[in-house]
């Protein structure tokens, strides 16, 4: 195949090269997959660390900002409390003090109420709604508590534990809460005052809510004592956890005044957490302002820290899964493709080996027609060695037997990308002509244009010779090598269709040829036919045709005679060569012939023309005139024959109008009792001697025979229904039915349909029908035997090989021909033949039926010779079904009376 690679403008990728490429692709895909997993894992780990750092930074910033906001608020409260204490030194009126406190509350929205009392805890002034309200001692106690062992300093603030209500002493049923705030004031005169206020929890919720709105998380405020002062989200139950939180807040203060902590959750067991890092870790940031004994913490839970990262991780994992699936599919496709390529390469190797060792010659050409590859069979078939054939054109095999138009059609077909197949006559290197069955297949490129041509040559030279031999034998008589009847009719039709010249026909039949065969044997008859065929060829004018129609019949298609006189001269020449001496085994033999002559009239077809010549031949035979022309009287016979043929065909096509069956009883000759019947067909247009041969000369015998079969079985069914159980019904079969139809299958179908026991049927067959011995005949006879149907040999003793038929075929009954029965009392030879048939039948265990018994003398002779059965007008003529039933009933009635 190297020549292909050299020739092609586009390099042809070999299977091994493609395999290597796909292997490289598979390794690349695997590396990409591993790299993708590694990079993705690193990206996930980096993203996790960034998420954790971002959460820490956010918590730290949120804690700082929130602490600053709380500190500013408390500083404002302390500053306004200081100003209020200084105002008390001026001894303002009640009204002025009330306005001053109202102004402070207006400036500080975080405060709901203010109460001013002396160092001895006497209320000096309060909000109007709190006037007269006694402050709980426990609240005032908070202002006297020490922090880390130190008394409360003047100018400092202290926050108490959150209380229910809007301010101290609030009896409202609302769910409001406040945080007590206490400030110690020292006036310029050195007097100490306490200001007690109620900080609204809503204020802290608003401050802390900013953190939640951004990223969520819990914001809580504790005292140094560990008391939970405020938390968001706010809920009263949260304050129940103050003891638990106290320990944590004190622990945080022991660490530092500020910081961030990671809060691990439960141990993670998920494979993603094990691979990409734990995601159950929360973040806590805390701050403690230097001015106040407070601790503020921002607590981000694991869900708040990692929720976005988990979502991103899920999306990335999904994308990674899609990419992995795509790469996996690509790798799987590559694996399958590699496997396919390996198998293809193996198949290609096998195919290449098969082509090299193929029995048929194979060669490949490029588009310019140059041979680039041949196998061994090509070398053997053509005689060209591989080296001699490469780069040559296939025209080296051209024999010149194909025309230019043939090659034009050939190239037009394969250049269009279609397969061409046909027979070609080639010439080998030695000059020998061979016939090959050639198939040329274009190999197309991606653009569907031919790139190479693969030609396969099957040597059919011997096959063609055998076909020609078979065709010759099917068209020629094997004895004389003349055209047979089949080809003669084809040639006659062809020449009638062409009508190139006057056409006449001579139909020849040898006289007493059968006697010659019977006397001297068939070899003598065959030698005579060969001699006559050669003599006829010698006198046959150029352009005329001679054929042997069969037996002792010949025919001449004549174009050389323009009128009856010239045709008569030619007939005389034929008779003269027939009368020339003929010797067989030193014995001189003389023979004569009868010729029928006719000219074709315009519009006359082949069958009427042959019939006319045949009728003229019969007229010559009757008149012993040697030859006779077809005349009007014979034409009338032909017309009647044609008319009857059309009428019979019409009758069979239209419910068998005018046709009916009769049953001729077959009797026991000793008792004259009916033991069977033979089916005989009748027609109202002609007698059986006329229309039965007419049907046998055409395909009508098949239609007529099938009709007889079905009507016979229907008659037998009617007999059974009438209580008449006929032991045996004999039906005649023609040679055409046995040779051309599966008649046994048809009979089986009918016996099943009509419910008839096939063992009560008997098929009458002539010797002629059995002499052909074709496969279809043998199959039909075999199936009859398997069904139990009897076989009767009709007209026994009149044929050429009656005794051999009894040996070769399963015959149970022989029927003595009418010609022998009629000669009883007149011919001792006929009587001797009858005695011989009866003796032979007894020795072979065969039944015998004598046909045509018409006289008492004939009946008496047959009874005396112990012939078992017979039929004829002496006992009964053929009867229609109703009369046959009456005859049967009369017979049974007589029998009963005799009993």
Q: Model confidence at 821, in pLDDT bands (50, 70, 90)?
A: very high
Q: Is the pLDDT of residue 46 over 80?
A: no
Q: CB-based burial of residue 774 (10 Å sphere; 0-12 exposed, 13-18 middle, 19+ buried)?
A: exposed
Fold of 358-465: Beta-Lactamase (3.30.450)
* Pairing mode of beta strands 553-558, 545-550: antiparallel
Q: Model confidence at 17, in pLDDT bands (50, 70, 90)?
A: low
Q: Domain spanning 52-304: which CATH class is it, in words? A: alpha beta
Question: Considering only 226-240, 268-282, 723-737, which range has the smallest mean pLDDT?
Answer: 268-282
Fold of 476-630: Alpha-Beta Plaits (3.30.70)
Between 33 and 2, residue with greater pLDDT: 33
**What is the reported pLDDT for 875?**
94
Between 181 and 84, residue with greater pLDDT: 181
Q: Tens of pLDDT along 525-548?
A: 999 999 999 999 999 998 899 999
Q: Tens of pLDDT along 442-452?
A: 988 888 888 89
**What is the reported pLDDT for 106?**
80
Interacting residues of 503 by C-beta distance below 8 A, sequence separation 6+: 495, 496, 557, 558, 559, 599, 600
* Pairing mode of beta strands 450-459, 361-366: antiparallel
| CATH topology identical between 52-304 and 655-898 | no
Q: Tens of pLDDT along 178-191?
A: 888 888 777 777 77
268 vs 277: CA distance, rounded Å:
9
Q: Model confidence at 146, in pLDDT bands (50, 70, 90)?
A: very low
283-322: buried (b, 16+ CB within 10 Å) or exposed (e) per residue?
A: bbbbbbbeebbbbbbbbbbbebbbeebbeebeeebeebee
436 vs 463: CA distance, rounded Å:
10
**What is the reported pLDDT for 775?**
80
Average pLDDT, the chain: 81
Between 726 and 461, residue with greater pLDDT: 726
Q: Are the C-beta atoms of residues 644 and 686 closer than 8 Å to each other?
A: yes
Q: Is the pLDDT of residue 504 over 80?
A: yes
Q: Are the C-beta atoms of residues 154 and 174 closer than 8 Å to each other?
A: no
**What is the reported pLDDT for 298?**
82
**What is the reported pLDDT for 797?**
66
Q: CB-based burial of residue 538 (10 Å sphere; 0-12 exposed, 13-18 middle, 19+ buried)?
A: exposed
Q: Is the pLDDT of residue 155 over 90?
A: no
Q: What is the mean pLDDT of residues 691-697?
A: 82
Q: Model confidence at 801, in pLDDT bands (50, 70, 90)?
A: very low
Question: Considering only 467-471, 509-513, 676-680, which range has the smallest mean pLDDT?
Answer: 467-471
Q: What is the mean pLDDT of residues 285-311?
A: 77
**What is the reported pLDDT for 572?**
95
Name the H helices within 422-563: 461-475, 485-498, 513-520, 522-539
pTM of the shown model: 0.41
Q: Is the pLDDT of residue 347 over 60?
A: yes
Q: Where are the domains of the chain?
A: 52-304, 358-465, 476-630, 655-898
Between 144 and 551, residue with greater pLDDT: 551
Q: Tens of pLDDT along 361-413?
A: 889 999 888 999 888 888 888 889 988 889 889 888 888 888 888 888 988 88
Residue 785 DSSP label: H
Q: Tens of pLDDT along 830-884?
A: 899 999 999 999 998 999 999 999 999 999 999 999 999 999 999 999 999 999 9
Q: Is the pLDDT of residue 686 over 80?
A: yes
Q: With pLDDT > 90 as the criterion, what percentage of the chain qualifies?
A: 28
Q: Which CATH number does 655-898 carry?
A: 3.20.20.450
**Secondary structure (H, E, C), 333-369:** HHHHHHHHHHHHHHHHHHHHHHHHHCCCEEEEEECCC
Q: What is the mean pLDDT of residues 134-154?
A: 54
Q: Tens of pLDDT along 622-672?
A: 678 889 998 877 767 767 877 888 899 889 888 778 899 999 999 999 999
Q: Is the pLDDT of residue 144 over 70?
A: no
Q: Tens of pLDDT along 241-261?
A: 444 454 555 555 555 555 556
Listed ranges 164-173, 207-216, 331-340; the one with the highest mean pLDDT: 331-340
Q: With pLDDT > 70 as the criterion, what percentage of the chain qualifies?
A: 82
**What is the reported pLDDT for 49?**
75
Q: Is the pLDDT of residue 324 over 90?
A: no
**What is the reported pLDDT for 5?**
36
């Amino acid at each position: 195949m190297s020549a292909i690679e050299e020739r092609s403008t586009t390099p042809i990728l070999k299977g091994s090269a493609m395999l290597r490429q796909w292997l490289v692709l598979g390794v690349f895909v695997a590396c990409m997959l591993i790299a993708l997993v590694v990079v993705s894992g690193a990206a996930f780990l980096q993203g996790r660390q960034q998420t954790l750092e971002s959460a820490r930074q956010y918590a730290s910033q949120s804690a700082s900002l929130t602490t600053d906001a709380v500190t500013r608020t408390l500083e404002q409260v302390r500053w306004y409390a200081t100003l209020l204490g200084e105002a008390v030194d001026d001894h303002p009126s009640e009204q002025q003090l009330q306005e001053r406190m109202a102004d402070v509350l207006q400036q500080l929205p975080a405060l709901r109420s203010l109460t001013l009392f002396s160092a001895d805890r006497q209320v000096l002034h309060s909000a109007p709604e709190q006037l007269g309200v006694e402050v709980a001692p426990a609240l005032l106690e908070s202002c006297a508590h020490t922090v880390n062992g130190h008394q409360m300093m003047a100018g400092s603030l202290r926050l108490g534990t959150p209380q229910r209500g809007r301010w101290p002493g609030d009896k409202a049923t609302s769910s409001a809460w406040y945080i007590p705030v206490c400030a110690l004031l020292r006036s310029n005169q050195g007097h100490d005052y306490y200001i007690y206020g109620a900080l609204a929890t809503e204020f802290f919720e608003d401050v802390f809510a900013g953190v939640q709105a951004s990223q969520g998380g819990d914001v809580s405020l504790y005292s140094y004592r560990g008391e939970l002062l405020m938390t968001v989200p706010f809920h009263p139950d949260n304050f129940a956890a103050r003891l638990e939180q106290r320990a944590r807040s004190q622990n945080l203060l022991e660490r530092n005044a500020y910081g961030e902590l990671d809060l691990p959750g439960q141990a993670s067991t998920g494979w993603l957490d094990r691979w990409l890092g734990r995601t159950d870790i929360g973040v806590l940031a805390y701050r403690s302002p230097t001015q106040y004994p407070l601790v503020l913490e921002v607590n981000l839970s694991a869900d708040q820290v990692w929720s976005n990262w988990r979502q991103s991780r899920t999306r990335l994992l999904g994308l990674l899964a899609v990419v992995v699936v795509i790469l996996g599919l690509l790798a799987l496709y590559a694996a399958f493709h590699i496997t396919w390529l390996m198998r293809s390469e193996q198949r290609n190797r096998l195919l290449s080996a098969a082509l090299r060792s193929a029995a048929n010659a194979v060669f490949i050409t490029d588009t310019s027609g140059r041979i680039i590859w041949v196998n061994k069979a090509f070398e053997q078939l053509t005689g060209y060695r591989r080296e001699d054939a490469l780069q040559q054109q296939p025209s080296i095999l051209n024999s010149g037997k194909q025309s230019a138009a043939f090659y034009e059609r050939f190239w037009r077909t394969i250049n269009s990308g279609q397969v061409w197949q046909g027979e070609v006559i080639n010439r080998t290197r030695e000059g020998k002509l061979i016939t090959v069955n050639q198939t040329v297949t274009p190999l197309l490129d991606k653009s569907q244009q031919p790139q190479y041509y693969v030609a396969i040559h099957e040597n059919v030279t011997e096959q063609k010779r055998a076909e020609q031999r078979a065709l010759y034998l099917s068209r020629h008589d094997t004895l004389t090598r003349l055209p047979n009847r089949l080809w003669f009719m084809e040639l006659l039709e062809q020449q009638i269709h062409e009508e190139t010249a006057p056409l006449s026909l001579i139909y020849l039949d040898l006289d007493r040829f059968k006697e010659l065969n019977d006397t001297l044997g068939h070899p003598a008859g065959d030698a005579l036919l060969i001699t006559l065929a050669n003599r006829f060829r010698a006198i046959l004018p150029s352009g005329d045709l001679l054929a042997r129609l069969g037996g002792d019949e010949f025919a001449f298609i004549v174009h050389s005679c323009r009128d009856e006189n010239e045709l008569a001269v030619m007939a005389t020449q034929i008779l003269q060569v027939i009368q020339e001496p003929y010797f067989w085994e030193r014995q001189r033999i003389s023979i004569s012939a009868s010729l029928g002559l006719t000219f074709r009239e315009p519009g006359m077809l082949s069958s009427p023309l042959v019939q006319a010549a045949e009728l003229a031949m019969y007229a010559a035979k009757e008149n012993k005139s040697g030859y006779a022309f077809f005349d009007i009287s014979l034409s009338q016979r032909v017309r009647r024959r044609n008319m009857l043929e059309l009428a019979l065909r019409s009758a069979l096509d239209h419910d068998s109008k005018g046709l009916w069956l009769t049953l001729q009883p077959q009797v026991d000759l000793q008792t004259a009792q009916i033991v069977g019947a033979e089916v005989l067909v009748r027609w109202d247009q002609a007698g059986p001697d006329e229309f039965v041969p007419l049907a046998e000369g055409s395909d009508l015998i098949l239609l007529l025979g099938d009709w007889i079969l079905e009507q016979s079985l229907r008659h037998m069914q009617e007999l059974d229904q009438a209580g008449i159980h006929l032991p045996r019904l004999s039906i005649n079969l023609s040679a055409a039915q046995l040779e051309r139809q599966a008649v046994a299958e048809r009979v089986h179908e009918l016996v099943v349909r009509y419910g008839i026991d096939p063992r009560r049927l008997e098929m009458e067959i002539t010797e002629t029908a059995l002499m052909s011995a074709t496969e279809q005949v043998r199959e039909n006879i075999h199936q009859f035997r398997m069904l139990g149907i009897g076989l009767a040999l009709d007209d026994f003793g009149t044929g050429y090989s009656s005794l051999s038929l009894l040996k070769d075929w399963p015959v149970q009954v022989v029927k003595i021909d009418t010609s022998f029965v009629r000669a009883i009392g007149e011919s001792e030879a006929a009587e001797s033949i009858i005695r011989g048939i009866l003796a032979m039948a007894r020795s072979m265990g065969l039944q015998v039926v004598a046909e045509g018994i018409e006289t008492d003398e004939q009946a008496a002779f047959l009874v005396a010779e112990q012939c078992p059965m017979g039929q004829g007008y002496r006992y009964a003529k053929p009867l229609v079904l109703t009369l046959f039933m009456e005859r049967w009933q009369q017979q049974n009635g007589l029998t009963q009376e005799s009993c």
